[in-house]
Amino acid sequence: MSESIDGKRKSRNERRADRREAIKQAAIEVFSEKGYHAAKVSQIVKRVGVAQGTFYLYYEGKQQIFGELLNDFLTLVVTTVANWEPAELDSREIFREELTRVGIALTDVVQENHGLAKIFFKEALAVAPEFDQIIHDFYETLGSLLTNFNRILYERGLIKSMNFKVLAYMTIGMVERIIMEHIVTGVLADVDAREIVEHLVIHYLDGTLSEVPTERET
């Protein structure tokens, strides 16, 4: 009897999770096609094939689900970068291979989540002040990760002394623009992802190999 009740409860929870995921996927499509301001809850539920009241069992409104989608995408990006371990690198060649691997992994994540990427690049940066803190925290976290990585790479003798924080944010800006043009706008859609990543890696390595007349950041 207990097993039967547990099974029904599990099945009900699974159905709720599936329904929530279906609503999120529909929201990704609607937001990426219509834009945040033009998107309506009625359009989202129509994609799923549920009543509008069902939507409000999961979300208070489109702002809440948009915020969740934004968080999902930014978490994917940060997790991909954070999983890198530069402390074991001991040569520029291995360093180059690792940068390329991470770059390809990040490109794959963004391509696999094209709808979320489009929402971030075309909508999130200009939607509403309610999302400013989420975006600020994302860049702060990513900048801190890369600054620390750069410091480790310097200590390993793989890059020259420079302002590692400036280097981190320069890297973010460069990669961000390339992703925008390759995946979102399609300007670089005809260029193979590996070729793009290799260009970015070469640019980073060439820049960090040269002497920079500034004090090492501590």
With residues binned 3-state (H G I as helix, E B as strand, rest as coil), the percentages for the chain, rounded to 5, are: 75, 0, 25
Q: What is the pLDDT of residues 59-103, one digit of tens each?
A: 999 999 999 999 999 999 999 999 998 888 889 999 999 999 999
Judged by average pLDDT, the poorest of 12-16, 163-167, 210-214 is 210-214
Spatial CB neighbours of 115, under 8 Å, sequence gap ≥ 6: 28, 29, 31, 32
Could you tell me which residue, 118 or 148, shows the higher pLDDT? Answer: 148
pTM of the predicted model, to two decimals? 0.83
- Please, what is the average pLDDT of the chain? 89
Alpha-carbon gap, residue 199 to 206, rounded angstroms:
11
Q: Considering just the CA atoms, what is the radius of gyration of the chain in Å?
A: 21
Predicted pLDDT of residue 90: 87
Question: To which H or E segment does residue 23 belong?
Answer: helix 2-34
Alpha-carbon gap, residue 163 to 39, rounded angstroms:
43
52 three-state secondary structure: helix
Mean pLDDT of the region 169-192: 93
Kindly list the structural domains of the chain, giving each domain's residue range(s) and its CATH number in brackets, ordered by start: 1-59 (1.10.10.60), 62-218 (1.10.357.10)
Whole-number percent of the chain with pLDDT over 90? 72
Task: Indicate whether 216 pLDDT > 90.
Answer: no
Predicted pLDDT of residue 211: 53
Task: Indicate whether 131 pLDDT > 70.
Answer: yes
Of 122, 113, 107, 102, nearest in space to 34 by CA: 122
